[in-house]
Structure 1
């Protein structure tokens, strides 16, 4: 089968890998508009279950992804305002890595399997698609292919309320950090996590009212960075924010929630952000793109008729995504109106943020209070370390070392 993947992100590249592993006879071309190592965003974050998925599907690329990742443990919620000032903690651990490094790993693996990966080829008109038996539209949330067939796909776009900007910082955080700062114009916050040596991803978000009150709606992106550095001087510990990741400054944007009535139009199928988006506060975009890729490649293997395979992929993945996207919408909505919660002390605020997906049993709050004590957190970290060691060994990996975390003085 001749297959063309438009878009060299995780969805397109990992589909090409997965499809080749199942049928080496496929002739697969991946067309990516950007040159090599040019990528939007700084880092991606993921959880242990993605490593399990990767290892079951392709151990070779999974080992490379794991080796290129950093491991962080614990989430800190730092609140600095006129009423309260302090830090609360949430348990758990996760992984992150530079987006460019991830794409490089997947590109190398795809090419080693015989995939023709072409960078710097921009598709100016979707009507000029290369001749193929199957076209995988994996060209992102602003997919030109999907837009050209929006009526058939039944595309629905909903724009989030809050402006946000995707930055980097030369402060390497040792965990996942939420920092909320109260200004005269209102609350503004960032979500930050380590990405690669010496650099962390830092997503700044606020309400439209705060954005306008601080003058961020009129400032040039380069001029906005010094202002944000001043606002976040405490959580950044005096470090710098970095705007330019590909020559141009990062731009403010609002999240585009993408859904489609169907993901299939003839021999064209959607995957990754072209098919669906989930708000960045859920941290699941890369995982969902990988699952799309695996399910589509499995369907093509198991059904002789490609149209039947595409319909099965469409049915299964849209059903699976329904609850995930609902959770993402809930998470996005919570962060669009956090002010009432921010009137609480940091520990109560952190709990409200942790349970934003829905009602929790009463014991959950008591457990949250317990985790604010250093001995309890140390015990939970030890438990997580053992669990992580077991899973790493089961996958045949050498456990990743934790990033250095200074001693906590919270009682």
Structure 2
């Protein structure tokens, strides 16, 4: 099979690796419009379950990823001058630049052609049996056939900035700072190479009240460093805007598509779907897309069957992550509902933000129920079963009231 992959991010590179491992005779080329080594972003997170899957699919690249990752098993929250620590699942961070370098080297070693600085447009697609659109949330290939794919974007309420720092966090770190214009918060995690990622988020009111929507990058970074001095310990924050330009403060856009394939063209990773950054699953889901597409191509001899099977399986597997992401984003949008709790309780509910039941139960009551459910198996089972049902019922009633 001749495969052309448009986009050299984690999804495209990992798919190329898996296809060459399945059949070295496959002719696989990855086209990336940016120069090699010019990756945007700071670091990405993933969890132990992904690392286990990487080892099963390609041990060589998995070992390299693990070797260059940092890990943590605690979360720490800074709220109202108090510090709260809690144990958590084993998390990992790796710089996006390092991850892409590992995957590119592995792909080359297997015979994949990597064409950097090569922008493929819908008007000049190379001849291939399969064309993979792994060109991100703004996919040009998907946009060309927008009516067919049926892309829909849902924009969140809050604004965010994706920043870096040379402060190396020893745990996944949350910091909530109250200002005269409302709360602003950050999550930070180490990603190797002596760096950490620091994502800052706030409501529109806080953004404009602090003047962050109009401040140039240097001014904005200095203000944010002061607001989060408690976790930065004197280390600066860094951005990536052009010199003298403003610091971007987008709202997160959740992307869904009506279908993921058209003829021999298929969507992969962020071109097919996005999930809110607060669950730290974007790269994991992109890599799992690659695993799913490679498996479907192995299991089905006819390309239409393979692409339909890939879409069907991945849509089903994504439901849990997409639900978690929606509830997680809502938790931060509703931060005033939780921020007045004692810090250890607020942090506990932060860990429960994926729950569909939480928005509909008074926070103090939910905290008590959750503590009890953790001690009694029957209560835990009841909570798990009731959550989606109560959420659906309340959402239905709310929609009826609006009508």
User: Shorter-chain TM-score: what band?
Assistant: 0.7 to 0.9
Q: Deviations over 1:234-272 (max 9, x none)?
A: 221121001138988762211110111110111110011
| Aligned equivalent of 1:390 | none
Q: Does 1:243 align with 2:239?
A: yes
Question: 1: distance between equivalents of 2:52 and 2:290?
Answer: 15
Question: 2: distance between equivalents of 1:251 and 1:128?
Answer: 32
Q: Deviations over 1:79-138 (max 9, x none)?
A: 13xxxx312223222111110000000000001111001111123x32221111111111
Contact 2:216 2:247 in 1 (8 A): no
Which residue among 101, 110, 115 is the counterpart of 2:112? 115
Question: 2: distance between equivalents of 1:90 and 1:208?
Answer: 30
Q: Does 1:197 align with 2:193?
A: yes
Contact 2:173 2:188 in 1 (8 A): yes
TM-score if structure 2 supplies the norm length?
0.87
Counterparts of 1:354-393 in structure 2, within 5 Å, are: 354-358=351-355, 359=357, 364-365=370-371
Question: 1: distance between equivalents of 2:154 and 2:28?
Answer: 33
Q: Deviations over 1:322-364 (max 9, x none)?
A: 2321211111111112012111121111112111222479574
| Aligned equivalent of 2:65 | 65
Counterparts of 1:249-260 in structure 2, within 5 Å, are: 251-260=248-257
Runs of 4+ in 1 over 6 A off after TM superposition: 245-249, 366-369
More helix by share: 2
Would you say how many aligned residue pairs link Structure 1 and Structure 2?
A: 364
Contact 2:93 2:191 in 1 (8 A): yes
Q: Deviations over 1:262-297 (max 9, x none)?
A: 101111100111111111111111111111101111
| Aligned equivalent of 1:95 | 92
Contact 1:40 1:245 in 2 (8 A): no
Q: Does 1:142 align with 2:148?
A: no
| Aligned equivalent of 2:14 | 14
Question: 1: distance between equivalents of 2:202 and 2:241?
Answer: 22
Contact 2:149 2:261 in 1 (8 A): yes
Deviation at 1:223, TM superposition (A): 2.1
Deviation at 1:299, TM superposition (A): 1.0
Structure 2 runs not aligned, ≥5 long: 358-365, 376-403
Q: Does 1:315 align with 2:312?
A: yes
RMSD: 1.9
Q: Does 1:284 align with 2:281?
A: yes
Deviation at 1:36, TM superposition (A): 1.2
Deviation at 1:222, TM superposition (A): 2.9
Question: 2: distance between equivalents of 1:292 and 1:180?
Answer: 34
Question: 1: distance between equivalents of 2:54 and 2:247?
Answer: 31
Q: Does 1:129 align with 2:92?
A: no
| Aligned equivalent of 2:271 | 274
Question: 1: distance between equivalents of 2:129 and 2:32?
Answer: 19
Decide whether aligned partners of structure 1 residues 199 and 158 sit closer, same or farther in structure 2, where only a CA change above 3 A counts.
same
Structure 1 runs not aligned, ≥5 long: 370-411
Question: 2: distance between equivalents of 1:317 and 1:26?
Answer: 23
Question: 2: distance between equivalents of 1:5 and 1:21?
Answer: 16
236-245 or 105-114: bigger deviation: 236-245
| Aligned equivalent of 1:179 | 175
